[in-house]
Amino acid sequence: MSDIDGRTVAKDIRAEVAAAAAKLRAEGTVPLLAVVVPTDDEGTAWYVRSIKKAAEKEGIDCRIEQLDAPGKDEIVAKLQELSADDAVHGIICQTPLPKGVALAEVGWYISPYKDVDGANTESAGRLAAGLRTFAPATAEAVLELLKREDLVLEGANAVVVGRSNVVGKPAAMLLLNESATVTVCHSRTKDLAAVCRGADVLVAAVGRAGMIGADFVKPGATVIDVGTNPTEDGGLVGDVDYAAVSEVAGRLTPVPGGVGPVTTALLLRHTVVAAQLSKTHR
């Protein structure tokens, strides 16, 4: 079994991002990512700080827009303001959102040209139609990792466990665009382990620590673990039981060090692409 090393992939992408950002700056455009934070959740604050640090390291300015217990209207107003602001190139609306507010609803107010985490339903529809668009960064990270491995996605049996709008469904669409045969499983799936054992490529995005055991994995399969479940001692574990599955899988992403760093790198790449587009598309 070999580890799929997300940190190396992220490093490659971030080197390209830094070069693109430097070029933009030389041309007078300072790439700017705005992150709307509608929660005072500590985990979110940590994550947002890590994005800001990564952005600034690669030459992208990052503005954190902290909202204090906002209603839907306040979030919408902020997203509209940022969408209309020519200095802003990328917009992320962080979750969790206040109770009763769905990302798909407020995401509509992020300009598709700045929608670097694919939160707008327009972006989701363009993704489903196979048109150019910004995909949710986590879903795209799954594909980015797979495409750098020596494997054939065309005709492969891909099984995605989890059907969220931000990971499961867009990852399924991206895999379908690569001509994999794609199955989407979830909490209502019968005999989940058996369905997963049919996978050449298994994507775990359920949000339950270690639930994908060795009996879910076909010998030699490629397993991408999207889970980031906090542990009691302040660490992170994935949805995959790493110790058990590493005995069976051919390739496996670790947590941390797999999907996570690539997701951050792709948010930055999307931001420089959005900044490049801003010079021609407005």
Which residue, among 13, 4, 15, 59, has the nearest Cα to 275 in the 3D structure? 59
Asked if 79 touches a second copy (CB under 8 A), the answer is no
- Stretch of residues binding a second copy (CB under 8 A), selected from 14-22, 39-47, 164-172, 236-244: 164-172
Asked if 220 touches a second copy (CB under 8 A), the answer is no
Q: Exactly one of 181, 197, 211, 257 binds a second copy (CB under 8 A); which one?
A: 181
User: What single letter denotes the amino acid at residue 279?
Assistant: K
- Stretch of residues binding a second copy (CB under 8 A), selected from 1-9, 47-55, 168-176, 203-211: 168-176
Asked if 129 touches a second copy (CB under 8 A), the answer is yes
CB-based contact 259:78 (threshold 8 Å): no
- Stretch of residues binding a second copy (CB under 8 A), selected from 31-39, 79-87, 117-125, 140-148: 117-125
Asked if 14 touches a second copy (CB under 8 A), the answer is no
Asked if 86 touches a second copy (CB under 8 A), the answer is no
Dihedral sign for Cα 185, 5, 130, 33, please.
Answer: positive
Block residue for tokens 């910004």: 134
Rule CB under 8 A: which of 183-202 touch a second copy? 183-186, 188-190, 195
Compute the least distance from the CB of residue 128 to a second copy, in Å.
Answer: 5
Asked if 104 touches a second copy (CB under 8 A), the answer is yes
Q: Is 228 annotated as a binding residue?
A: yes
Asked if 182 touches a second copy (CB under 8 A), the answer is yes
Sort residue 218 into left (φ over 0), alpha (ψ -120 to 50) or beta: beta
Q: Exactly one of 121, 211, 244, 276 binds a second copy (CB under 8 A); which one?
A: 121
- Stretch of residues binding a second copy (CB under 8 A), selected from 62-70, 140-148, 175-183, 230-238: 175-183
> How far apart are the C-alpha atoms of 168 and 204, rounded to whole Å?
9
Q: Is 83 annotated as a binding residue?
A: no
Compute the least distance from the CB of residue 276 to a second copy, in Å.
Answer: 22
> Would you give the distance in Å from CA 55 to the centre of its chain?
16
> How far apart are the C-alpha atoms of 224 and 151, rounded to whole Å?
13
Asked if 64 touches a second copy (CB under 8 A), the answer is no
Q: Is 198 annotated as a binding residue?
A: no
Q: Is 163 annotated as a binding residue?
A: yes
CB-based contact 5:257 (threshold 8 Å): yes
CB-based contact 201:222 (threshold 8 Å): yes
Q: Which residues pair with 63 in a beta bridge?
A: 34
Residues tagged in the binding site annotation for NADP(+): 162-164, 228
Contact positions vs a second copy (CB under 8 A) = 102, 104-105, 120-131, 154-155, 157, 163, 165, 169, 172-173, 176, 179-186, 188-190, 195
